[in-house]
Amino acid sequence: MRRVEVPTLILIATLALVTLMASGCGAGNGRPPLGARFGSTIVFPTLTSISPDTALVGTAAFVITVNGTNFGPDATVFWNGLPLPTRFISSKQLVAQVSATNLQFAGPASVFVRSAGMNSNTVTFAVNVP
């Protein structure tokens, strides 16, 4: 048997790459992790619609219904990057509380869902002037 010596730096770099590939990198930003997730399929949440999708400035707090696919029990609805109190209904539906504070200014609000550490696509909620 022939003995082969591997320089320590190469060995450390190889172990670091294998660790990175096994654990993933980039999850939660809407892109697949760097490398493979061994023995699993990556399933991103997808947001298909929100209801309502418009409100007037100064409207009182209300509940928004979020429809899509691949929502887990940990799913959270985000409004302009901030989490909303969210209730899991099913893998295809969530409801979230939109506060009056979120409706103080006119303009578009970005809504997305984070589930299992991964973000869905974003849809726009319009806050309109009366």
> Is the pTM higher than 0.75?
no
CA proximity to 61, closest of 98, 94, 107, 95: 98
Q: Do 87 and 119 belong together in one domain?
A: yes
pLDDT tens for residues 66-114? 999 999 999 999 999 999 999 999 999 999 999 999 999 999 999 999 9
For residue 42, CA distances in Å to 45, 64, 123 come to 10, 27, 22
Q: Do 117 and 62 belong together in one domain?
A: yes
Full residue range of the structural domain in which residue 3 is found: 1-42
pLDDT tens for residues 11-37? 444 444 444 444 444 445 555 555 545
Q: How many CB atoms lie within 10 A of CB 98?
A: 24
Q: Do 97 and 50 belong together in one domain?
A: yes
CATH code at position 108: 2.60.40.10
Distance between CA atoms of residues 17 and 13, nearest Å: 6
Q: Do 58 and 72 belong together in one domain?
A: yes
Q: Do 6 and 29 belong together in one domain?
A: yes
Q: Do 57 and 119 belong together in one domain?
A: yes
